Amino acid sequence: MVANVLEWLDASAARLPDKIAFGDEKTTLTFAQLRDLSRRAGTYLSRRVGTGLPVAVFMEKTPACLAAFFAAVSAGCFYVPLDTKMPPERIRLIFDTLHPAFVFYDEKNAQAAQAVAGDAQSALFSAACETRPDEAALAAVRAAHVDTDLLYVLFTSGSTGVPKGVTISHRSMVDYADWLHDALDIDESCVLGNQAPFVFDNSTLDIYSTLRNGCTTWIIPKKCFSFHRTMVRFLAEHAIDTIFFVPSALISMANSGILEKDPPTGLKRIYFCGEVMPNRQLNQWRRAVPDAVYCNMYGPTEITDVCAYYVVDRDFDDEEPLPIGRACANTRILILNDKNEPVEPGQTGEICVLGTCLSLGYYNNPAQTERAFVQNPLNTAFHERMYRTGDLARYNDRGQIMFLGRKDFQIKHQGCYRIELGEIETALLAIPGLSNGCCLFDEAKDEIVCVYTGEEDERAVARALAVKLPAYMLPNRYERLDRLPMTINDKIDRVTLKKTYIG
């Protein structure tokens, strides 16, 4: 039984020492080098802090950053990735909750890291890597480890304005990476292209598939997501055959025309998660790269990245929504109504998740943890934790789960109509000539606001939606933009849009 993710690194380094584990435009680390750096910096760290403590990593998105993560784990601690472009005030909010014991930084971010470190000890990661590994000390740390020890904490936006730290254990990650191997055929032969920032949980698919299976992950440069011919060239040059992107990245490539002119035909697996993937752009991908396996995945950060998936196995019209399918192995999904009863087919309810995948809660935030991680209401015999996602769904006539949107995206319009904004967005994104968009609700004015990018003017969009939706679901106002604001994770920044167009 694997109890610590570093067991995978040890095995891959022993079996494939000279194979590239992680690389970017400038640097690469083989499995042997990755293990060596992790143990060197882990020894440095273990001489300065105790086990079970948070280690913040304030470094650029590079292979060395990943080595810093594993150094923290080698010392019996857990790592906390920080976005180096994050405003100092947000980092201070995170540190107020986290109270890091140590901060690793790189040369580029030395000054900024030291400015926010506060009372925490800190060090240049490359300097820590000059330490000789202490085999006895590292072995003692490993011997004391149990699989429910924390592996990482990722900070997400909180409804109160204070970031929430989602805690994930080794056991949850072992379960997830095993499932990726068994269900999605990610193995030693794969070459992955990483899109997700390391502060975003989607990156864990790339990171831990690489460790577990001995495959290779290339960190795709940010510029590739703006210059799509550069993207296609990068994928080909590095023989990348597996990608796990947020839908916005796939939508952007589809809208650019690159799939018709120069499709990335070397791709064998195209996975996506984080937002709704519209079938209009997915169909463009399926025509351009017909032999690839496409998989729609779903899951909040609190359940170790993914808890449901659908391998696309049939044709869809552009206007159809895509299922999120069924629960991953060793995961149970309940769809419960307002009375905490399982919904009937076709009825709407909240997605609730049980299983090893669950986070241990929010770091240093017991009140928020109690609200989100609750007793399974269907079980009165013993304690069984369940996570309430706040997402709405229903079962289709095939027994597949259909994601409908956030619970707080369900609105009451014109005094009586219950509307899922996601349903309007599905129709919106199926309109030819539109590149992206979303809908907001101005509760004070009882108005649905449609914000989009594309060639069509407001009247043309309104006419197209009128053919697809009943009158009570049609937006009251349209805002056409040159580009939509995006978050660090390349999702539509709805918070900024609400501030701009609703106030």
Phi, psi of 222 (to 5 degrees): -55, -35
pTM exceeding the 0.75 threshold for the entire prediction: yes
pLDDT of 159 higher than 60: no
Kindly report, residue by residue over 405-427, the tens digit of the pLDDT: 888 777 777 766 668 888 899 88
Please name the fold of domain 414-501: GMP Synthetase; Chain A, domain 3 (3.30.300)
Fold equal for 6-192 and 331-404 = no
Q: What's the whole-number mean pLDDT along residues 173-197?
A: 97
pLDDT at 416: 60
- Relative to beta strand 401-406, strand 385-395 is antiparallel
**Other C-beta atoms lying within 10 Å of the C-beta of residue 332:** 15
Q: Using alpha carbons only, how large is the chain's radius of gyration in Å?
A: 23
Phi, psi of 15 (to 5 degrees): -85, -35
Kindly report, residue by residue over 238-259, the tens digit of the pLDDT: 999 999 999 999 999 999 999 9
**Segment (H or E) for 40:** helix 31-46
What is 6-192's CATH number, 3.40.50.12780, 3.40.50.300, 3.20.20.70, 3.30.70.3270? 3.40.50.12780
Q: What's the whole-number mean pLDDT along residues 439-444?
A: 89
Residue 478: name the closest of 412, 418, 435, 428 by CA: 428
Residue 420: name the closest of 453, 448, 379 by CA: 448
Q: How confident is the model at residue 500 (pLDDT cuts 50, 70, 90)?
A: very high
pLDDT of 187 higher than 80: yes
- In this structure, which amino acid lies at residue 203? S
Mean pLDDT, all residues of the chain: 94
Kindly report, residue by residue over 307-346, the tens digit of the pLDDT: 999 999 999 999 899 999 999 999 999 999 999 999 999 9
CATH of domain 331-404: 2.30.38.10
pLDDT at 160: 52
Q: How many angstroms separate the first and last alpha carbons of the chain?
A: 53
pLDDT at 162: 74
Kindly report, residue by residue over 85-134, the tens digit of the pLDDT: 888 888 998 999 999 999 999 999 999 999 988 889 999 999 999 999 99
Go through 257-293 and write b for each residue having 16 or more CB atoms within 10 A of its CB, e for each that does not.
ebbeeebbeebbbbbbbbbbbbbbbbbbbbebbeebe
Is residue 47 classed exposed, middle or buried when 0-12, 13-18 and 19+ CB atoms within 10 A define those classes?
A: exposed
Tokens of 462: 């309104």
Which DSSP symbol is given to 323? Answer: P
Q: Where are the domains of the chain?
A: 6-192, 331-404, 414-501
pLDDT at 161: 58
pLDDT at 422: 83
pLDDT at 194: 98
Ranges of beta strands (E only) in 82-228 are 102-105, 121-124, 150-156, 164-169, 191-194, 216-219
The percent of residues in the chain predicted with pLDDT above 90, rounded, is 84
pLDDT of 204 higher than 70: yes
